[in-house]
Structure 1
Amino acid sequence: MAPAPPDRIPYREPQTMTDAGRTYGACDLVVVGGGINGTAIARAAALAGLDVLLVEGNDLGSGTSSASTKLVHGGLRYLEHGEFALVRESLRERAILLRTAPHLVEPLQFVLEPAPGGRPWPVLRAGLWIYDLLAIGGTLPRSRSLTVRDRAGRKRQALAYWDARVDDSRLVVLNALDAAERGARILVRTRVTAVDRTGNDWRVSLVDGSGLERTISSRFLINAAGPWAGTVHGQATHSDYAHQVRLVRGSHLILRRKPADDAARLLQMPDGRVVFVIPYQRDFLLVGTTDIPVARPDEREPDPREVAYLLAAANSHLGEAVTEADIVWRFGGIRALFDDGSRDASKISRDYHFEVDRDRGLLSVIGGKVTTARSLAEHALAVLGLPAGATRERPLPGGNIASFASLLDQVRARWPFLGAERSLRMARAYGSRIDAVLGKAKCAADLGADFGCGLSEREVRYLCDTEWACSADDILWRRTKLGLLFTQEQAGRLQSWVAGHMPARTPRQDETAA
């Protein structure tokens, strides 16, 4: 049994009761929001022995956390704004993620070329020197000069540096999975309908997709609802907090273009912004991002101006006509940033901000990055006087491997029938836990029906039973990224299977009434 938290925390054994069809429960901490910040907080709190309930209105990572640039990075451009502390923290967390999730977080080389009207060579060289200095203690190579060829075949000088890429939505799921395995209860597709203060406790009213209502009593409440954080904070404090939050959309395109090499590019645009062009899922290019102020959290769809801007960036790099017909997927994520008064949305700090009421045990998270979620979680719990479990050296689920190369060799030797592409995809997704997905399968037939592109019935069953997947979209776009390859007919067949499987599911222990 996990140890009880210190005496100053009113720890209570989990309890449930039902009254007139309404379920009540008590816990130490309710976390609202199943994105990267919320799941990281739930993980750290559960590892410390707290009784934690995490509530997510949709799927895990279905908001901003699945709409990032898929990078674990220090944020080279933040140096221009003097955010050295944020860059240093991000680079430290980059090193931790490379160590604790080596199956999911992969080193990636970036090439940065001077551009007409862009930052001068000495500025670029100095910026990368500072970046290297702030990254001391990490394992990635230092930046260097190199020679590249332009579209006309002429040689020119460029710079190369290293960061890392990640499957952002799978990182969210792995944090939630580790939290659940240490006792946290995870409720997906469950909306918060009211937040009230009664005595020393918060009472959080919930309703799930089936209409089941629950009211959870908790001493502490952490609001990590991302773009909806202002709304939740207003519910809890009966005040208007929206003016403190700036909503900014970052849009991306996935293009059907096979990368020329394994390196990513950081392009300097004529307006002074930078755009990433990154090899994605082997056969595609990811292009992003933008910074467009929006008024509402649901304004996620990239607008025509953003699409044209990103296509122009891609054309400047590829030197060929890339059009909307080449777009396989377009997505936008709404970043909830603390309003620091900056007029230019691209200059608003990406650092996180806490709005705290210690006396009432309330903390709202504004901002943050995929890279810094682990340290944010430690800081948030400490601010409330709560303990945080040790996560600095703890591998995320599937991450206890010597190296990814050795894991991949083992997977291909044990399950040769997977083939090269599927074994690579599954080793990246599940790491050492691939055994829990494939088990004792000796041939492809042992995996059940194939829904297409190597997605087997056994893998789908695992995702539904273990990783909270409830729809074909959850599986194709947030658990596997096979939506890039699936046809509508294949997706429909998968949805039919999932819909038939869901009613027969036995709820996970962490999904039962709190």
Structure 2
Amino acid sequence: MSTPNPAQAFHAEDDVRSNVEAIRQNPSAQVLIIGGGINGIGTFRDLALQGVEVILVERGDYASGASSASSHMIHGGVRYLENGEFRLVKESVQERNRLLRLAPHYVKPLPTTIPIFSTFSGILSAPLRFLTHKQGKPKERGALLIKVGLMGYDSFSRDGGNVPRHRFVGRKKSLAKLPKLRPDVKYTATYYDAAVENPERLALDLVQDALAAGPHARTANYVEAIGASGDKVVLRDTVSGETFEVAAEVVVNTTGPWTDLTNEALGEATRFMGGTKGSHIVLDNPELYEACAGGEVFFENNDGRIVLIYPLNGRVLVGTTDLEADPREPALCTEEEVDYFFDLVGHVFPTITVDRPQIVYRYSGIRPLPGHGDTAPGFVSRDYRIEQAAFGTSTTVKQLSLVGGKWTTFRALSEHLANDTLALLGRARTVSTTDLAIGGGKGYPQTPAAITTWVRAHGADLGEERTRVLLARYGTNAAAVIAHIVAAEETDAPLESLPGYSTAEVDFLMGEHTVHLSDLVLRRTIIAFVGSLGQPAFDELSALAARSAGWSDERLAAERAQAAENLRFFHEIVVEAANTTAAGAVN
């Protein structure tokens, strides 16, 4: 069976996309960034704010690769202490606290509880793991070891962070709070991290922030780098199939797990990467949702892997695995991994039944980790570094490659990568992103009273209830969505299949760099993630997308077929490509 290509080209009656055309008309910049994951996007925003002429290209949709397959966590990485990655933990905790302030519309505090079943276990094996970075025989971490780790973790939050410090409680209080836990639990330790509810939209906010800096910042999705020609990068528009060249003083490779493959295409063989695969499932299981008591349950399974179970967007997210992976192959959540997830849920919540019909979404991705030889996957560094390499045969173009990186540290990483790029350009930083709010986090109201004030100020035409939904969905960028809906006047109506959305809102989303139907259902919304993409919704959204984008019947059929195959192949969501319901007819 052939692998679905989410960037499949469509040639029939496609207009030239304006963002691609803008790059073709002026095919040069000081910096070209290849790779529109969270780190490439963050660097794009940072350089744009400095006034640098910068172009970002992404071969798929923004944040559609490794950045779309995370655990949705913004966390300090308490387990990285055992790896000796103290610099990374300190930076991660500080960035966690910062994102709670800068992106409060999507990044929310998350109480995290570790169930503990022994007091002294792991005391002797932990130093050996620390020194050798070999997993060895799994050994459960006991209360004393976890206590020491959390004390160190708290010490990194002394930068004015606004999350509480950890606390330990015994069996009685633990079971009072989490009564479905294994009855032999001895203690629980609770600390705070954060979750990002809609990471793809947060990434899109960063893109919009960059473009708002001025016309010196340009970007196009579904444009891939396929080679080098002298001092220029050869690009291909995957929608039209056309190729063109772009010149830049500095080329920045932020293609994550595919960094070596990109460098190879550009003419330089590198062996930087060694990513591992992580999979997750999303469950519609009210009993498990309730058992989490509004927080994450985080523990080490018997095989030494870290496990997380937590409520997210009304569902329960369960993950993750840590398996060797080949970036040339698609990452899929296998049936063996699903069985593994069910076993680990039973390990900590033995009376709760989970089964396959409760899975509403599954996904998998390859972490952009460095090459690691025989180091156990769990001990591979989650830190990042920046490598300078030759750009093809050019003697003038400089090239930087990012190795590693994680969601939590994207702002600090982007600052570092931007600084290195500025140094190559002989320029100085003029704008700091340290305290710069992101997208819909600008002016976001964070108290019930402030929310009510904002809603009343912006909801006169839509009503308070609808305005509150849009504020929660888009942050203060909801003001632009509201204006678009209001401008639609009488033509706006709730969707028949998804009454929480409206026709004008979908039209607005189609204007957000949305090229394919998959972009709409997987990344501009969380409709697929929460299990709401049934056949009627798929049909209705398809018709609305076609109307907004001006697709022909042939293009619409191709979009439906490709979206249906992607949903089935990568996420086990089954919809028919053929239009099967009346909801598909939108006038």
Bucket of the pairwise TM-score, normalised by the shorter protein: 0.7 to 0.9
The residue that corresponds to 2:202 in the other structure is 171
The residue that corresponds to 2:434 in the other structure is 392
Q: 1:299 aligned to 2:321?
A: no
- 2:445 and 2:454 in contact (8 A); partners too: no
The residue that corresponds to 1:401 in the other structure is 443
- 2:444 and 2:476 in contact (8 A); partners too: no
* CA drift at 1:106: 0.5
Paired residue type of 1:395: A
The residue that corresponds to 1:29 in the other structure is 31
Distance 1:436 1:188 in 2: 22
- 1:247 and 1:297 in contact (8 A); partners too: no
The residue that corresponds to 1:473 in the other structure is 518
- Mapping for residues 267-416 of structure 1, pairs under 5 Å: 267-282=299-314, 284-319=315-350, 320-357=352-389, 360-384=397-421, 385=423, 386=425, 387-388=428-429, 389-401=431-443, 403-406=445-448, 408-410=451-453, 412-413=455-456, 414-415=458-459
The residue that corresponds to 1:90 in the other structure is 92
The residue that corresponds to 1:251 in the other structure is 279
Residue 215 (structure 1) aligned to one of 232, 242, 245: 245
- 1:292 and 1:345 in contact (8 A); partners too: yes
Residue 430 (structure 1) aligned to one of 469, 474, 484: 474
Residue 165 of structure 2: SS of its match in structure 1?
Answer: coil
Q: 1:206 aligned to 2:236?
A: yes
The residue that corresponds to 1:500 in the other structure is 547
* CA drift at 1:341: 2.9
The residue that corresponds to 2:268 in the other structure is 239
* CA drift at 1:408: 3.6
- Write out per-residue CA displacement over residues 412-442 of structure 1, whole angstroms, 9 at most, x where no aligned residue: 545486776x655532332112110012749
Structure with the higher fraction of residues in strand conformation: 1
Residue 439 of structure 2: SS of its match in structure 1?
Answer: coil
The residue that corresponds to 1:196 in the other structure is 229
Distance 1:281 1:96 in 2: 22
- 1:415 and 1:442 in contact (8 A); partners too: no
* CA drift at 1:464: 1.8
Cα distance, 1:444–1:342 mapped onto 2, change above 3 Å? farther
- Mapping for residues 130-145 of structure 1, pairs under 5 Å: 130-137=152-159, 138-145=161-168
- Write out per-residue CA displacement over residues 244-270 of structure 1, whole angstroms, 9 at most, x where no aligned residue: 311211100101123212111102211
The residue that corresponds to 1:77 in the other structure is 79
Residue 212 (structure 2) aligned to one of 176, 181, 184: 181
Distance 1:56 1:108 in 2: 31
Residue 55 of structure 1: SS of its match in structure 2?
Answer: strand
- 2:31 and 2:250 in contact (8 A); partners too: yes
- Write out per-residue CA displacement over residues 317-343 of structure 1, whole angstroms, 9 at most, x where no aligned residue: 333221122111110011121113343
Paired residue type of 2:514: A
Residue 141 (structure 2) aligned to one of 119, 122, 145: 119
Distance 2:84 2:523 in 1: 34
Paired residue type of 1:139: N
The residue that corresponds to 1:159 in the other structure is 189
Q: 1:129 aligned to 2:161?
A: no
TM-score (norm 1): 0.87
Paired residue type of 2:297: R
The residue that corresponds to 1:5 in the other structure is none
Q: 1:266 aligned to 2:276?
A: no
Residue 135 of structure 1: SS of its match in structure 2?
Answer: coil
* CA drift at 1:49: 0.2
Distance 1:276 1:285 in 2: 10
- Write out per-residue CA displacement over residues 395-418 of structure 1, whole angstroms, 9 at most, x where no aligned residue: 111112254334542455454867
Distance 2:263 2:505 in 1: 38
- 2:305 and 2:322 in contact (8 A); partners too: no
Cα distance, 1:128–1:424 mapped onto 2, change above 3 Å? farther
Distance 2:488 2:550 in 1: 29
- 2:507 and 2:544 in contact (8 A); partners too: no
Cα distance, 1:348–1:330 mapped onto 2, change above 3 Å? same
* CA drift at 1:473: 2.6
The residue that corresponds to 2:174 in the other structure is 148
Distance 1:297 1:489 in 2: 35
The residue that corresponds to 1:457 in the other structure is 503
- 2:494 and 2:500 in contact (8 A); partners too: no
Cα distance, 1:453–1:473 mapped onto 2, change above 3 Å? farther
Paired residue type of 2:417: A
- 1:115 and 1:268 in contact (8 A); partners too: no
In structure 1, stretches of 5+ residues that fail to align are: 1-15, 505-514
- 1:70 and 1:168 in contact (8 A); partners too: yes
Deviates more, 1:449-458 or 1:373-382: 449-458
- 1:453 and 1:486 in contact (8 A); partners too: no
Cα distance, 1:163–1:424 mapped onto 2, change above 3 Å? farther
Q: Aligned Cα RMSD in Å?
A: 2.7
Distance 1:93 1:17 in 2: 33
- 2:143 and 2:187 in contact (8 A); partners too: no
TM-score (norm 2): 0.76
- Write out per-residue CA displacement over residues 350-396 of structure 1, whole angstroms, 9 at most, x where no aligned residue: 11122213863200112100011111111112223154532111111
Cα distance, 1:112–1:496 mapped onto 2, change above 3 Å? same
Distance 1:304 1:55 in 2: 34
The number of equivalent residue pairs is 479
Residue 43 (structure 1) aligned to one of 10, 33, 45: 45
The residue that corresponds to 1:64 in the other structure is 66
- 1:58 and 1:188 in contact (8 A); partners too: yes
Distance 1:56 1:246 in 2: 21
- 1:17 and 1:24 in contact (8 A); partners too: no
In structure 2, stretches of 5+ residues that fail to align are: 1-18, 119-138, 391-395, 552-587
Residue 95 of structure 2: SS of its match in structure 1?
Answer: helix
Cα distance, 1:249–1:125 mapped onto 2, change above 3 Å? same
* CA drift at 1:154: 8.0
The residue that corresponds to 2:559 in the other structure is none
Paired residue type of 2:153: Y
Distance 1:197 1:67 in 2: 35
Distance 2:469 2:304 in 1: 36
- Mapping for residues 10-21 of structure 1, pairs under 5 Å: none
* CA drift at 1:345: 1.3
Distance 2:459 2:518 in 1: 27
- 2:102 and 2:437 in contact (8 A); partners too: yes
- 1:174 and 1:397 in contact (8 A); partners too: yes
Distance 1:240 1:153 in 2: 54
Paired residue type of 1:40: G
- 1:408 and 1:423 in contact (8 A); partners too: no
- 1:249 and 1:334 in contact (8 A); partners too: yes
Distance 2:238 2:117 in 1: 52
Cα distance, 1:412–1:336 mapped onto 2, change above 3 Å? same
Distance 1:205 1:155 in 2: 56
- 1:350 and 1:369 in contact (8 A); partners too: yes
Cα distance, 1:188–1:159 mapped onto 2, change above 3 Å? same
